[in-house]
Structure 1
Amino acid sequence: MAVHDYFLTLLIILLSARLFTELAVRLKAPGVIGELLAGVLIGPSLLNWVQPVEAVKLLAEIGIIMLLFEVGLETDVRRLAQTGAKAFVVAFAGLSMPFVLGFLLAYRFFELPLLTALFIGGTLTATSIGITLRVLADLKRQDSTEGQVVLGAAVLDDILGVVMLALLYEFSIGGGVNLINAGKVLLSIMVFFVLAPIAAKLISFIIRHLGNVSDVPGLIPSTIVSLMLFFAWLAHAAGAPELLGGFSAGLALSRRFFLPFGASLAVDADFAHEIEAQMKPIIHLFTPIFFVTVGLSLNLREIEWNSPFVWVFSSTLFVAAVAGKIMSPLFIKGSRLQRWAIGIAMVPRGEIGLIFAELGKESNIFNNAIYAGMIIVVALTTLLTPFILKWFYGRYGAQLNH
């Protein structure tokens, strides 16, 4: 592709993403759905204006890393600790039940290969923090009892989901399931998660000091992006996916993150807020490229829509995806309505599910039909949940307040 053609491609991606995001939000749907639809429209599925070429995929990769950096930046570890055992139980059940249901359906019912079935189960695991936060905030329920449990569980869900993604990534590049390699990856991740936040906080002190003495604008964005990319490289060197580096860097720089050995390495709240404020525009520039690229990678023309497989597969996995999350609060104490509210709020998959699906496609673990089915499942759980949750609180909100 010539350089001037690439400029036009990038222009089409950014403008279509913005247009469809605005449209989705006006229709009370999550913005990520609009970005997905933009990719489908301008890609091989419909207009065929843009192809998912390597240069676009590279920008999408940066978008993934920045997306996970933002998730880490917004992760509230104190909230997770405060919600106690309930959040841990809901998170573990909400992660394991969809995974087991998805894996068994894929492996036993659809008779798919072991690694494909594991990726399908993994795609159904993590709850989208962003979508859950947005809906609960819109309903002014984020500080309710069930809201606290949901947010704590969603935080843990994302952390465990990223660890699972690292394991499946190792299996995908290693050619299959290998318990020895899995053990090495888990050990690498544990060491990385222990050391990376400490290193990131130490580096943040240097950045903050430089910011106080420098008169040149733009220091924080350039140094934080450099830190993020360094940690992405470091994560890869440790045997984990690059996006884990982005997540850990964001987690360490969050003003709500703390280290167990005291406040000596605590990030100044004003500095953390400044990082968030200056990084948001850059993150919001790159992350839509990832979601549009997911839509570009989905070639609807190659799918045999007359084949019963696509419809049976996506509808079956959708039921498993919803049921696994709805059942997650069954093991905690609380009223029936509170448990229903928690279960519904845990349903949307969003970003992490899309990352799983995209990795499965890029690793040739998912064929086009399976990939399409998984995108349909993720999109439906993401799109329908806000409407269902709003209806639920509209009808039962008064009873939940008593």
Structure 2
Amino acid sequence: VLGLVILAVVSGLAETGTLSAAGTGLILAKAITFLVVAIGLGLRYSPVLLASVGQMKVRGSLIVSAIFFCVLLAAVAERSGLAAIVGTFAAGLILAKTERRAHIEEQIKPVADLLVPIFFVAVGMQVGPALLNPFARSSLPLGLALTSVAIGSKLLAGLGVYQRGVDRWRVGVGMIPRGEVGLSFAGVGKATGTIEEGVYAAIVAMVVTTLVAPPWLKTLYREA
């Protein structure tokens, strides 16, 4: 949630082109207000809306309504001067609290199977091979630095767990992966001009390299 609020602030500052305490405070208040109001109203009225959808004698009415709801909140967020992902995040939280959550998850899988690969390919296609040149000033070296911080900081955080019977290394390694949310943030930053191409390439490289976590976790559990 904090990451989404920060994204909203940065996106708003990128659009205005100015940095001021008043402007930052206004965007911050707008983001928090949007999340609170959207989630509050959504949780209150979602049972009524789902009941109406359930009465429809049309195939796919539930999943179509869920997708429409996500797009609607994304559009409202953008019209409010926030990033679209803030609206979709709020929609996801609302739908996750409904009694039809399992049905929505099951029906959304084919859609995800189609669109998720396209998303990752589109992200990768925006990274020029030249940007990963080891002599490039702000791409590969920065990517290696971000990867080191992403992995090292999570391992250190895991060592801070003192609960008896908990493997601290597993906790640390489990926090390492960075996925579609990080890439979405990077995409928004690149689209708004907040993040330059070299930094964008470094972030994508960091996300890819943190995928070492799953085999690492598998090794830790095998050793246990």
TM-score by length of 1: 0.51
In structure 2, relative to structure 1, the CA distance for the partners of 1:341 and 1:285 (3 Å cut) is: same
Determine the C-alpha separation between the residues in 2 that align with 1:170 and 1:215: 43
Report if aligned partners of 2:127, 2:197 keep a CA contact under 8 Å in 1. yes
- 1:371-382 equivalences under 5 Å are 371-381=200-210
Count of residues in Structure 1 that have an aligned counterpart in Structure 2: 223
Higher relative contact order (CA 8 A, sep 6+): 1
* Residue of 183, 188, 192 corresponding to 2:25: 183
Determine the C-alpha separation between the residues in 2 that align with 1:317 and 1:273: 36
1:392 aligns with 2:217: no
Deviation at 1:336, TM superposition (A): 9.3
SS in 1 for 2:167: helix
Deviation at 1:239, TM superposition (A): 2.9
1:303 aligns with 2:125: no
* Residue of 102, 106, 112 corresponding to 1:277: 106
Determine the C-alpha separation between the residues in 1 that align with 2:145 and 2:63: 44
Q: Which residue does 2:85 correspond to in 1?
A: 243
Deviation at 1:292, TM superposition (A): 1.4
* Residue of 185, 192, 203 corresponding to 1:363: 192
Q: Which residue does 1:354 correspond to in 2?
A: 183
Determine the C-alpha separation between the residues in 2 that align with 1:232 and 1:216: 25
Determine the C-alpha separation between the residues in 1 that align with 2:181 and 2:19: 21
Tell me how large the CA RMSD over aligned residues is.
Answer: 2.4
In structure 2, relative to structure 1, the CA distance for the partners of 1:321 and 1:207 (3 Å cut) is: same
In structure 2, relative to structure 1, the CA distance for the partners of 1:178 and 1:289 (3 Å cut) is: farther
Q: Which residue does 1:342 correspond to in 2?
A: 171
Report if aligned partners of 1:232, 1:242 keep a CA contact under 8 Å in 2. yes
Report if aligned partners of 2:5, 2:32 keep a CA contact under 8 Å in 1. no
Report if aligned partners of 2:11, 2:83 keep a CA contact under 8 Å in 1. yes
1:210 aligns with 2:38: no
Q: Which residue does 1:39 correspond to in 2?
A: none
Deviation at 1:183, TM superposition (A): 1.5
AA of the residue aligned to 1:193: L
* Residue of 68, 71, 76 corresponding to 1:226: 68
Instruction: Give the 4+ runs in structure 1 shifted more than 6 A.
Output: none
Deviation at 1:274, TM superposition (A): 1.9
Cα deviation digits, residues 138-180 of structure 1 (max 9, x gap): xxxxxxxxxxxxxxxxxxxxx2222222222222223254332
What is the identity percentage for the equivalent residue pairs of Structure 1 and Structure 2? 28
* Residue of 320, 325, 329 corresponding to 2:154: 325
SS in 2 for 1:334: coil
Deviation at 1:242, TM superposition (A): 0.9
Gapped regions of structure 2 (runs ≥ 5):
none
1:253 aligns with 2:95: yes
Gapped regions of structure 1 (runs ≥ 5):
1-158, 256-266, 398-402
| Worse-superposed segment, 218-227 or 306-315 | 306-315
Report if aligned partners of 1:161, 1:352 keep a CA contact under 8 Å in 2. no
In structure 2, relative to structure 1, the CA distance for the partners of 1:326 and 1:361 (3 Å cut) is: same
TM-score by length of 2: 0.86
Cα deviation digits, residues 16-60 of structure 1 (max 9, x gap): xxxxxxxxxxxxxxxxxxxxxxxxxxxxxxxxxxxxxxxxxxxxx
Deviation at 1:341, TM superposition (A): 1.5
